[in-house]
């Protein structure tokens, strides 16, 4: 399992008139978690796209446990529990500044060749970053 964390502060535009984060924003929070997870491994979505790999969303689940409010500092924990083959599953746990779990979910992205738009295996350079992390367990 590879776990990475990042922090965000809830912006005004992400909330409703009561100052509560709109549920639709959690998918964006998950994207922040994914991109930071990759970046902390030493890779970026942009690098993958330059290398001809796209990662379209194929599955998304979100469970809302407690509300988040304007100016809350949230911690997004992103986990990958398995070495990917043709798709990768990210799990997310979002905590407020009191360390209360407020949301959990997951997304799955497929690896797609940008030129052919066909599914493919996870790129070797990604596997080379991931496998040593799983070997440490």
> H-helix or E-strand containing 106?
strand 101-110
How many Å separate Cα 87 from the centre of its chain? 13
Residue carrying the six token digits 């970026």: 44
| Close Cβ partners of 98 (under 8 Å, ≥ 6 residues apart) | none
**Active site includes 16?**
yes
What residues contact residue 27 under an 8 Å CB cut-off, 6+ apart? 60, 62, 107
Q: How far apart are CA 97 and CA 102, in angstroms?
A: 10
> Active-site residue numbers?
16
């Amino acid at each position: 399992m590879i776990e990475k964390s990042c922090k965000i502060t809830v912006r005004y535009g992400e909330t409703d008139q009561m100052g509560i984060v709109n549920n639709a924003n959690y998918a964006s929070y998950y994207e922040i978690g994914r991109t930071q997870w990759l970046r902390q491994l030493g890779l970026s979505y942009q690098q993958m796209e330059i290398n001809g790999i796209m990662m379209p969303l194929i599955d998304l689940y979100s469970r809302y446990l407690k509300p988040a409010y304007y100016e809350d500092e949230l911690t997004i924990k992103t986990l990958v529990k398995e070495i990917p083959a043709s798709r990768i599953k990210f799990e997310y746990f979002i905590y407020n500044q009191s360390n209360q779990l407020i949301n959990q979910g997951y997304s799955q992205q497929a690896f797609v060749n940008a030129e052919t738009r066909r599914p493919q295996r996870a790129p070797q350079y990604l596997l080379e970053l991931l496998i040593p992390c799983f070997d440490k367990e």
